[in-house]
Structure 1
Amino acid sequence: VPGSHRDGLVTDSVVEGFGQVPASYLANKTFQSVPCRIGDALFFSSFLVHQSGTNVTDGIRWSCHFRYNNLDDPSFIERGYVHPYLYKPSDELLTPDYPVNLKLTDIFPASTTNAS
């Protein structure tokens, strides 16, 4: 949502790890798509209200995010340079018994060389 980063943190709850923006905030706002090609990078403030759409291609969509903080921000200094959120991996196994050997042979076909 263009310009939403200027409104600060507008989430009112977190559901399954995702901040929820009140419907009343979005009532007269419009999300804007940003087309990206292979190799493109998109940078925006973590305050920007954003979402990702459904991948409508036949390919995999990969994304990674890197977060940074302004070292000169007084609130960042006051809290001892601690990041405001804790990100940690989940211990929950999402797909039990994965990968089965059949799938592994599809992913890693036998090689004609003897690799160790």
Structure 2
Amino acid sequence: MRPPSSASGKVAIVVGGGSGIGAARVREFAANGYRVVTMSPSGRARALAESLGGAGLDGSNTSTEDLRACVGLTVSRYGRVETAGSVARPCPADHVSVAAGESRWCPVQDSVSWLRYLQ
């Protein structure tokens, strides 16, 4: 997924942005004008996001609480989310979306916007 070059000011969440492809995605989003929020259990995603002027937190994609915290941080800091994706594995254990009351989950590996269920 390549962010558009005219994305100045848009907001993206990358789950699993601490290293490898996830970190590359975070850097590319930031280079293309996105404000980025990212999460990983290692702390590397948070450090990367902060070094790029974004925000991050230490958490796991297998925790619904951590995913909600990531969305909450994004909305509280930037007021919205335009896109989200994940390169984290494994899939969340409970396969429940972060939306209150939802029982659907887009598989993390598909890199589709699971945030569509928050609208």
TM-score, length basis structure 1: 0.22
More strand by share: 2
Pair member with larger Rg: 1
TM-score, length basis structure 2: 0.21
